[in-house]
Structure 1
Amino acid sequence: MQNKIDHFAIGCSDLETGVAYLQDKLGVHVPKGGKHAAMSTHNCVMQAGNESFFELIAIDPDAPDPGRARWFTLDDAATQKRLSERPRALTWVVNTTDLDRIIADSPVDLGEVVDFARGDRTWRLTVPRDGSLPENGLLPAFIEWSPGPHPSTGQQDLEVRLQSVKLTHPDPSRIEAMLTTLNVRHLAEVSQGEAGLAFALNSPSGSVLLD
């Protein structure tokens, strides 16, 4: 089983606001991506190095109600309040070659496995039915792609690189134990503090921490 960071998500109240915020922080204009019909969301994306990508995501105001809770807590009132203040780090997603084993071994409920498709690519992703995030986003979602080149290879390279996923928690050993069980301990830095998620990036504007 191989696990690596697939992508990481920054949420925003609307994509225009998020793009402007990232232009100021990173010195790049994140291009439009696509729409997620099953979740009534849309995104902007760019490469982030090592076959991973950066996702800026928001509720799609032109899409109908999805008939279920949107992913990444986007329907949650507390998340919406936070995003009204500024874009925020929401979650990170790990690319795995054995999603079923990850789910079987997980110490927490990762949610249901939802099948998605865009064009000729399909993927399976863990999505809690209530739209929550495992450990409030400190534990990743997991994705398994259909065979083929990673989607990041078709995205623009704006010289933004993910340096590390940073997790803080009052009981870091508990989070570390969960990450170890999920076989992803090597993919994040864990330290003690108020529970939080952040992404350390190198960009045309220098080193930037997005939380």
Structure 2
Amino acid sequence: MTAHPLRLDHLVVSARTLDEGTQYVADTLGVAPAGGGAHPLMRTHNRLLNLWGGVYLEVIAIDPHAAPAAASAASAASAASAASAASAASAASAASAASADPAASADAGAPRPRLFALDDPATHARLENGPYLSHWVARVERPKQLRTWRAQFPQRIPPIVPMTRGDFTWGLSVPDDGAFPAWQGAGDGVLPSLIQWDSPRHPSDALPPTGIALKALKAVHPQADPVRAQLQWLGAAHLLELQSTDGAAALVAEFETPDGLRTLK
């Protein structure tokens, strides 16, 4: 287990469109996500909902108004430069981060797949049935450096991709194929992506209070043992209640709201 246990940063609801995802969350929790913005590199956009304790919920969808893929990929170099400048303590550490993250210096003419498996046909098929709780993201707080940690354990942690949205900049672990993180072939959204914020503010600081608190995050997975082992190695096992299943992997979040207990699946 890592010496620096991780914190829950945010939950992810995937949707075909932001309007569909927003309506699903509003119908379930009684408050509609708002704000958010575009992720130029990934050609996605989001809306956010504040939760108690410095956590938030993100509704994410493919951005139909995003710049063409090649143009979006061209922004990767500038995003990488901004994130490295904000997080590196010296020129040497910035160079180390760049070498550890080949995705950050990818050919501008070869855009990477979208994150959270949003380009996967299986995801598209599932979203035909409506939005769903697809993933969660764990926060790596300083003094631990996410890019350094990934450079030390590249088999355990996917490449760290520099991302931006408005004034916010961060590094996020995203496999090169855009799939969910996995360990020994098991992931399916149940293993978290890792995030480290370069911006001094966290998005939850800019969101209005909702009176909603996450009570429990639960998951089932047909390969629970390797998933549990990776959670323990990451220092994230305390954030998720995991059980084995003979069925498909799934996440469930329970919330305390002003109107009582609500469940998001």
Q: What is the TM-score of this pair, normalised by structure 1?
A: 0.91
SS at match of 2:238: helix
For the Cα contact (< 8 Å) 2:28–2:263, is it kept in 1? Answer: no
CA change 1:107–1:125 in 2 (3 A) is closer
SS at match of 1:137: coil
For the Cα contact (< 8 Å) 1:198–1:209, is it kept in 2? Answer: yes
- Per the alignment, residue 41 of structure 1 pairs with 44
Task: Tell me the distance in 2 between the aligned counterparts of 1:136 and 1:102.
Answer: 23
- Per the alignment, residue 131 of structure 1 pairs with 178
Q: Does 1:153 align with 2:205?
A: yes
Q: Does 1:93 align with 2:137?
A: yes
The within-5 A match list for 1:71-90 is 71-90=115-134
Task: Tell me the distance in 2 between the aligned counterparts of 1:133 and 1:78.
Answer: 12
Q: Which amino acid aligns with 1:163?
A: K
SS at match of 1:71: coil
For the Cα contact (< 8 Å) 2:37–2:166, is it kept in 1? Answer: no
Q: Does 1:8 align with 2:11?
A: yes
How many pairs does the alignment contain?
Answer: 211
Q: Which runs of 4+ in 1 moved over 4 A?
A: 104-109
- Per the alignment, residue 105 of structure 2 pairs with none
SS at match of 2:128: helix
Q: Does 1:196 align with 2:199?
A: no
Task: Tell me the distance in 2 between the aligned counterparts of 1:131 and 1:164.
Answer: 27
Q: Does 1:209 align with 2:260?
A: no
The within-5 A match list for 1:98-177 is 98=144, 99-100=146-147, 102-103=149-150, 108-134=155-181, 135-146=187-198, 148-177=200-229
- Per the alignment, residue 51 of structure 1 pairs with 54
Tell me by how many angstroms 1:104 deviates: 5.3
Tell me by how many angstroms 1:115 deviates: 1.0
**Unmatched 5+ residue regions in structure 2?**
70-110, 182-186
**Unmatched 5+ residue regions in structure 1?**
none
Task: Tell me the distance in 2 between the aligned counterparts of 1:182 and 1:105.
Answer: 13
Specify which structure has the higher proportion of strand: 1
Task: Tell me the distance in 2 between the aligned counterparts of 1:112 and 1:155.
Answer: 29
Counting aligned pairs with the same residue, the percent is 35
Please give the per-residue CA displacement for 1:78-130, whole angstroms capped at 9, x wherever unaligned: 10111121111121111102214543576954321111234443211111111
Q: Which amino acid aligns with 2:251?
A: L
For the Cα contact (< 8 Å) 1:102–1:182, is it kept in 2? Answer: no
Task: Tell me the distance in 2 between the aligned counterparts of 1:169 and 1:36.
Answer: 30
Q: Which amino acid aligns with 1:72?
A: F
Tell me by how many angstroms 1:150 deviates: 1.8
Task: Tell me the distance in 1 between the aligned counterparts of 2:55 and 2:213.
Answer: 9
Give the alignment's Cα RMSD to 1 decimal: 2.0
Q: Which amino acid aligns with 1:200?
A: E
Larger Rg: 2
SS at match of 1:20: helix
Q: Does 1:70 align with 2:114?
A: yes
CA change 1:160–1:19 in 2 (3 A) is same
For the Cα contact (< 8 Å) 1:43–1:58, is it kept in 2? Answer: yes
Q: What is the TM-score of this pair, normalised by structure 2?
A: 0.73
- Per the alignment, residue 31 of structure 1 pairs with 34
For the Cα contact (< 8 Å) 2:46–2:60, is it kept in 1? Answer: yes
